[in-house]
Structure 1
Amino acid sequence: MQSLRQWASGRQAALACNRARLPVHRSPIVRASSVKGEVTAAPADAVALNELMEVAIMAAEKGAEVVREALDRPRSISFKGATDLVTETDKASEEAVLAVLRKHYPRHALLGEEGGVSGDTDSSYLWCVDPLDGTTNFAHNYPAFAVSVGVVRGVTPVAGCVVEFTGGPHAWVTRTFAAHTGRPTTCNGKPVRVSQVSDVRRSLLVTGFGYEHDEAWSANMELFKEFTDVCQGVRRLGAAAVDLCHLSMGVVDGYWEYRLKPWDMAAGIVIAQEAGATITTMDGRPFSVFERSMLASNTLLHQQILDKTDPKTRGLLAANVDLSPWFVPPGYDTTRR
């Protein structure tokens, strides 16, 4: 069986070959215009989407190597808050991921969960990195964590990769989800698609809770109960990227959560969307990676889920609970398309 390092090396060699044939910043990407029949060229600084995805895969796999090597070792754990923990593996994985991104795109902006903002925030591209999504799960050997690498243009994720760890102690395996805009999502190279469940009473849903027990947390607890009463079950894994990947392959049918950050969502959003998911805010507005609430579904269930999340979210807003867009790196232009 080909090792992860050999596989990643092969991808890097292939990417180098592609670079020799195609200058990075003169990619022949085209976009459909709003006028039927017209096609407009991509912006001059556009990078080929397939290339962005390949680099995301290489970076995520490099981070996954670090995580894999740490699985059977004692955990070195510290705390960012009362219950929000971080391990040395988070930091080492982020360093490995960012090294790949800086090598290929030294002028792109970078946003890591552990290291914050770096690179050129005047860039059209922002890489959002969660080096170990589901750190608490990792610390307890609970098989629901991942390395997530997504790239955003403006406010829209355009390519990403999530390497999910499953199986558990003595049986760890990974599966690699990848997608870019206009390319169907794959898991370990095979196409995946959202479910066709059209009745919320037949659905399995998933949600998440932040570390702050605030008004949004309380509202979500109420939603958890309401959905448990009407669907076949609600799960809570504690790893947003994993939740979105499970939606993309039809394992769950809908997902909602407050208080997410760009690194939690960037890769998972494009992976879910290109598998057929619909994504909005929890009150039904158009979604951006900087929003503070997200509802993702298999599309068929979206309105049925929104019928419950919308009133709760509007109630929070009416009570002046802050759900405004999250921190945007200084100098980063969210209007780019």
Structure 2
Amino acid sequence: MKTYLTIALQAVEQAAKICQQVQAQLVEEDSLTKKDRSPVTVADFASQAIICKRLKEAFPEIDIVGEEDAQSLRQDENREVLNKIGQFLPDWSVDQILDSIDLGNGEPGALFWTLDPIDGTKGFLRKDQYAIALALLKDGQPVLGVLGCPNLPFNGQADRGTLMYAIKGEGAFTLPLGGGEAKQVHVSDNDPEDVVRFLESVEAGHANHSLQGRLMAHFGDRAKAVRFDSQVKYAVLARADADVYLRLPNSEKPDYREKIWDHAAGALIVQEAGGTVTDMFGKPLEFNHGKKLMANRGLVVTNGKLHQKIIELLNRG
């Protein structure tokens, strides 16, 4: 497992550095208001190409289930995006870029990687929080997870991003982007009688904020809201900077199910940091139903001490 971890950390860190370059050079103040997604599209595809290439070189027998594919980039109208990707991968040919992205078109099996090359599109465009999420799954469960969080300060150092990783049964750890000593992380010790810090998505459409608001009201003044984009929320909770993360179903999308690449890495990291991750009914997450969590509805992520209380509140008649 150590070999898998070494390659995974190197791949995610390399992708994070490219994403930082894209963000610094292509994202302008009005990118979001103009709905110009091209900068994050460039970073998204470049990130997947880098990570898939590194993984396949090291572990050619293991499929990669990634979020993206290169079909749209092969169309003439997207040639400009492809050319911009090439600017950040100057030693790569066009075919190498396209083929490396498509290395992520694998299918879930007994052992496979799952990858979200950039989670948090609007956070990226705001130059705020986003994450690169990579997990190795065996027999339907994550056994290794890596989160690259380029804009999440490491131990208060605003100029350093954060890497976080976990191996099943061995704990969760953090280290700064760019290298440094890894330190183990643990979730908070807060219980229902303490201040309860709830993580909320910055984007309101991503979850049922009204239901979360009603649940927070149960804790009165002890409930505090902490807002972050993307799977960065898992990293924040794992290092004890928050206590509860809810991903509750939106009533307007009753058939929606979460994608595995949006949660596999983060879920393992929180669990290995001592937290608990289930669906909203207290059922463990099942990653062996294809590319979505088809057997689960909603997510509840806590420091463990708060979990049963949150489940009870959510499922009151």
Summarize the Cα distance change of 1:120–1:146 in structure 2 as closer, same or farther, 3 Å threshold: closer
Summarize the Cα distance change of 1:186–1:305 in structure 2 as closer, same or farther, 3 Å threshold: same
Separation in 2 of the partners of 1:122 and 1:273? 22
Task: Quote the offset at 1:261 in angstroms.
Answer: 1.5
Maintained 8 Å contact 1:83/1:211: no
**Counterpart among 155, 158, 165 of residue 140 in structure 2:** 155
Amino acid at match of 2:192: D
Summarize the Cα distance change of 1:84–1:254 in structure 2 as closer, same or farther, 3 Å threshold: farther
Summarize the Cα distance change of 1:228–1:139 in structure 2 as closer, same or farther, 3 Å threshold: farther
**Counterpart among 96, 103, 124 of residue 50 in structure 2:** 96
Separation in 1 of the partners of 2:193 and 2:131? 28
Maintained 8 Å contact 1:159/1:179: yes
Maintained 8 Å contact 1:108/1:119: no
2:216 aligned partner: 227
Other structure's SS at 1:233 match: strand
Amino acid at match of 1:266: A
Other structure's SS at 1:151 match: strand
1:280 aligned partner: 278
1:59 aligned partner: 11
Separation in 2 of the partners of 1:305 and 1:196? 15
Separation in 1 of the partners of 2:247 and 2:193? 17
Summarize the Cα distance change of 1:262–1:122 in structure 2 as closer, same or farther, 3 Å threshold: closer
1:253 aligned partner: 243
Normalising by structure 1, report the TM-score: 0.67
Q: What percentage of aligned pairs have identical amino acids?
A: 25
Summarize the Cα distance change of 1:184–1:196 in structure 2 as closer, same or farther, 3 Å threshold: same
Maintained 8 Å contact 2:280/2:297: no
Task: Quote the offset at 1:221 in angstroms.
Answer: 2.1
Maintained 8 Å contact 2:152/2:162: no
1:16-67 deviations in whole A, cap 9, x for unaligned? xxxxxxxxxxxxxxxxxxxxxxxxxxxxxxxxx2222222212211211211
1:222-241 deviations in whole A, cap 9, x for unaligned? 223431552421233221x2
Separation in 1 of the partners of 2:297 and 2:12? 24
Normalising by structure 2, report the TM-score: 0.71
Please show how residues 1-337 of structure 1 align to structure 2 within 5 Å: 49-75=1-27, 86-115=40-69, 118=104, 121=107, 123-142=109-128, 144-166=129-151, 172-188=159-175, 189-199=182-192, 201-208=194-201, 217-218=207-208, 220-228=209-217, 230=219, 231-239=222-230, 241-258=231-248, 259-289=257-287, 290=293, 291-311=296-316
Task: Quote the offset at 1:187 in angstroms.
Answer: 0.7
2:84 aligned partner: none
Maintained 8 Å contact 1:205/1:234: yes
- In the alignment, structure 2 segments of 5+ residues that lack a partner are 70-101, 176-181, 249-256, 288-292
Amino acid at match of 2:147: V
2:178 aligned partner: none
Separation in 2 of the partners of 1:223 and 1:121? 34
Task: Quote the offset at 1:83 in angstroms.
Answer: 11
Maintained 8 Å contact 1:177/1:245: yes
Maintained 8 Å contact 1:175/1:187: yes
Task: Quote the offset at 1:201 in angstroms.
Answer: 4.9
Summarize the Cα distance change of 1:172–1:228 in structure 2 as closer, same or farther, 3 Å threshold: farther
2:73 aligned partner: none
Maintained 8 Å contact 2:109/2:139: no
Maintained 8 Å contact 2:22/2:42: no
Maintained 8 Å contact 1:284/1:310: no
Amino acid at match of 2:234: L
1:9 aligned partner: none
Separation in 2 of the partners of 1:133 and 1:246? 15
Separation in 1 of the partners of 2:302 and 2:25? 37
- In the alignment, structure 1 segments of 5+ residues that lack a partner are 1-48, 316-337
RMSD value, Cα: 3.0
Summarize the Cα distance change of 1:167–1:191 in structure 2 as closer, same or farther, 3 Å threshold: closer
